[in-house]
Amino acid sequence: MRIDVISLFPEFVAACAGFGVVGRARERGLLSLHGWNPRDYAEGNYRRVDDRPFGGGPGMVMMIEPLRAAIAAARAADPAPARVVYLSPQGRRLDQALVRELAGRERLLLLCGRYEGVDERLVAAEVDDEVSIGDYVLSGGELPAAVVIDAVARLQAGALNDADSAAQDSFGAEAGGGPGLLDCPHYTRPVSHPLGDVPEVLLSGNHADIARWRRRQALLRTRARRPDLLDRAGLSAADRALLAD
């Protein structure tokens, strides 16, 4: 998969590209990342990329042409068609279903806004999806772009060392597209510690019991913390029995 990032601060995104799962996905040739700075495509001595909003009001708006030229340069760098995703608080809220959708694309072009946003004509002409990472306002699209990159990188086949761990993560188990459950708790050595002991079932070696315990913990935790997810998950009779235990 190829991801192009259009940003006034491409270093911001590059910083996340060298570590952990994203770094490994790149080393394994599963993901390539390319930054494009609209300022490099801006005209004049000042290389201006933003201007005051028509109608007045505070802040600045990113101008059409530097962004359009940066998008065109990114598109021209590779013949694969790119899905243009604009990170903005007005977008569709990112969840694991949308991550899966984006991760399945051959190529994404992530457009990061700054200031008050991007001239709406550019959004209308170039953007395929507008995506928000949550109901709060950040000062730019770079952190949201890094979030999208991390979330889609882990879903590239071969990116994770333990093939199962993506499916078992919170939200992951329902590959069919439902909202999924929160993850169960995890423990490692030592077995006994002043802060508590590891639940015995996890030491039993009985894989069926362990799987049942983990599923029940995930169900209990989801009911306590995110009942909205449980409502949407559509529980099986076995799940309902586990919750009733």
Binding site residues, ligand ADE, CB under 6 A: 87-89, 132-134, 136-138, 141, 144
Q: How far is the CB of 118 from ligand ADE (least distance, A)?
A: 10
Residue 169 appears among annotated catalytic residues: yes
Which of 24, 105, 107, 154 is the catalytic position?
Answer: 154
Q: How far is the CB of 130 from ligand ADE (least distance, A)?
A: 9
Task: Please identify which residue in the block is written with the tokens 């030229």.
Answer: 69
Q: What's the CA angle centered on 145, arms 175 and 42, to 5 degrees? A: 145
Residue 116 appears among annotated catalytic residues: yes
Cα of 62 vs its chain's centroid, Å:
24
Q: Which is nearer to ligand ADE, 66 or 141 (CB)?
A: 141
Task: Please identify which residue in the block is written with the tokens 């590209």.
Answer: 17
Q: Which helix (H) or strand (E) is 145 found in, with range?
A: helix 142-153
C-alpha–C-alpha distance, residues 13 and 174, integer Å: 30
Ligand-binding annotation for 113, yes or no, is: yes
Q: How far is the CB of 141 from ligand ADE (least distance, A)?
A: 5
Which of 78, 116, 129, 130 is the catalytic position?
Answer: 116
Q: Which is nearer to ligand ADE, 47 or 92 (CB)?
A: 92
Strand partners, 6: 36, 111
Residue 154 appears among annotated catalytic residues: yes
Spatial CB neighbours of 119, under 8 Å, sequence gap ≥ 6: 61, 62, 63, 64, 67
Ligand-binding annotation for 242, yes or no, is: no
User: Where are the alpha helices (H) located in 35-63, listed in sequence order?
Assistant: none
Strand pairing of 32-36 and 2-6?
Answer: parallel
Q: Which is nearer to ligand ADE, 132 or 217 (CB)?
A: 132
Q: Which is nearer to ligand ADE, 90 or 236 (CB)?
A: 90
Q: Which helix (H) or strand (E) is 90 found in, with range?
A: strand 83-93
Q: How far is the CB of 163 from ligand ADE (least distance, A)?
A: 30
Which of 89, 105, 142, 144 is the catalytic position?
Answer: 89
> What token pair was written down for 140?
């730019």
Ligand-binding annotation for 108, yes or no, is: no
Ligand-binding annotation for 29, yes or no, is: no
Ligand-binding annotation for 138, yes or no, is: yes
Residues assigned a catalytic role: 89, 116, 154, 169
Return binding residues.
113, 133-138
Return binding residues for S-adenosyl-L-methionine.
113, 133-138
